[in-house]
């Protein structure tokens, strides 16, 4: 049954030409890449430089975890909060679409990440060497989940204060995790980051298969 | 400007579950009579989803919160006006051929 869970509990599909024709249509494969990192590190810029970009709003219930950081005393009614993510779409070919999700940087929205991370192809953790500690939580998160990721050091205005190897040491990264320098404003540079991520995903898969 | 969940009559949970960010929605053929009583936002979804469109993209294009679009798509599913299918890596794990195609596609941008 091709329609998967959507049919569960629904009435049978209507008869007629459209119902018969739908399953034969080509279905795209949707791949998800997360763009993470601290506030103001250039996530929006990167998504916008290599794809069309749209803001995606979610309205979320504040969970217990997030309530800790929001003083809700006296406003018990307000249990929803709006989170805006950067959302980009890259048409690879007729069969494949790549979706980019700029993850909300604030830690109190981390409960949102889990849905984003399920089935993600990989993640780009953006780093600013002036505030390297801002990307620690993202690195931890993807390491813990086993999501393949790379670190992209956004070189603001050509500034590059630390070579990639220093960044790798400071973040205590696995030697396989790529560290690339980028200029998030530049399309070619952002494309290079994504290409490197996909190559990393592929190499990692080969390593895991070989190690079996 | 209306508060988002006014569109759903205050409902914050869709009638069906399992609508993920990348679940694709596709409009089914329906006679005009079946569209009576739909809200403009339902119709906008039907319009956009003539080509299979992900839930995330529907929300972004309609500038509505994801949760609202989940509820509205749930309504359309129940009325048999759309079908949905999963299109993500969980359904078809990307193999080397797919990854190479992604790399080529990115380079060609």
Candidate from B52, B67, B90 with C-beta closest to A59: B67
Residues of A in contact with B89 (CB under 8 A): 29, 31-32, 119-121
The pTM of the full predicted model, rounded to 2 decimals, is 0.82
Encode pLDDT of A133-155 as tens digits.
999 999 999 999 999 999 999 98
Contact in structure between B70 and B14 (CB atoms under 8 Å): yes
Residue of A173, A175, A182, A131 lying closest to A153 (CA atoms): A182
Inter-chain CB proximity A17 and B29 less than 8 Å: yes
Residues of B in contact with A8 (CB under 8 A): 16, 18
Give the C-alpha separation, A192 to A182, whole Å. Answer: 8
The per-residue pLDDT for A210 is 85
Encode pLDDT of A173-186 as tens digits.
999 999 999 999 99
Distances (CA, A) of A167 to A140, A150, A173: 15, 12, 9
Distances (CA, A) of B108 to A3, A88, A195, B94, B102: 33, 17, 11, 20, 10
For chain B (length 109 residues), average pLDDT per consecutive 10? 70 73 94 89 96 95 93 95 90 89 96
The single-letter DSSP state of residue A106 is: S
Band of pLDDT at residue A59, cut at 50, 70 and 90: confident
Give the C-alpha separation, A2 to A143, whole Å. Answer: 34
pLDDT at A8 over 60: no
pLDDT mean across residues, chain A: 80
């Amino acid at each position: 049954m091709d329609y998967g869970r959507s049919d569960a509990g629904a009435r049978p599909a209507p008869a007629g030409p459209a119902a018969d024709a739908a399953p034969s249509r080509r279905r795209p494969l949707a791949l998800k890449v997360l763009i993470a990192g601290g506030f103001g590190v250039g996530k929006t810029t990167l998504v916008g430089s290599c794809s069309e970009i749209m803001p995606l709003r979610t309205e979320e219930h504040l969970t217990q975890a997030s309530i800790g950081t929001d003083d809700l005393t006296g406003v018990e009614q307000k249990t929803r909060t709006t989170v805006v993510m950067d959302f980009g779409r890259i048409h690879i070919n007729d069969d494949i679409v790549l979706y980019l999700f700029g993850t909300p940087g604030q830690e109190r929205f981390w409960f949102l990440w889990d849905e984003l991370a399920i089935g993600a192809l990989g993640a780009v953790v953006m780093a600013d060497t002036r505030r390297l500690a801002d990307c620690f939580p993202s690195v931890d998160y993807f390491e813990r989940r086993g999501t393949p990721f790379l670190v992209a050091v956004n070189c603001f205005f050509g500034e590059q204060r630390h070579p990639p190897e220093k960044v790798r040491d400071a973040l205590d990264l696995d030697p396989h995790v790529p560290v690339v320098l980028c200029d998030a404003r530049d399309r070619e540079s952002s494309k290079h980051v994504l290409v490197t991520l996909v190559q990393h995903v592929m190499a990692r898969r080969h390593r895991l298969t070989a190690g079996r | 400007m209306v508060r988002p969940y006014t569109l759903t009559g205050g409902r914050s949970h869709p009638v069906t579950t399992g609508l993920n960010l990348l679940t694709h929605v596709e409009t089914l053929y329906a006679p005009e009579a079946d569209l009576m009583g739909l809200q403009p936002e339902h119709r906008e979804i039907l319009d956009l989803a003539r080509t299979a469109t992900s839930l995330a993209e529907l929300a972004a294009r309609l500038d509505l919160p994801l949760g609202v679009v989940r509820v509205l798509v749930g309504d359309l599913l129940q009325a048999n006006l759309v079908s949905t299918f999963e299109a993500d890596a969980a359904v078809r794990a990307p193999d080397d051929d797919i990854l190479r195609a992604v790399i080529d596609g990115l380079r060609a941008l």
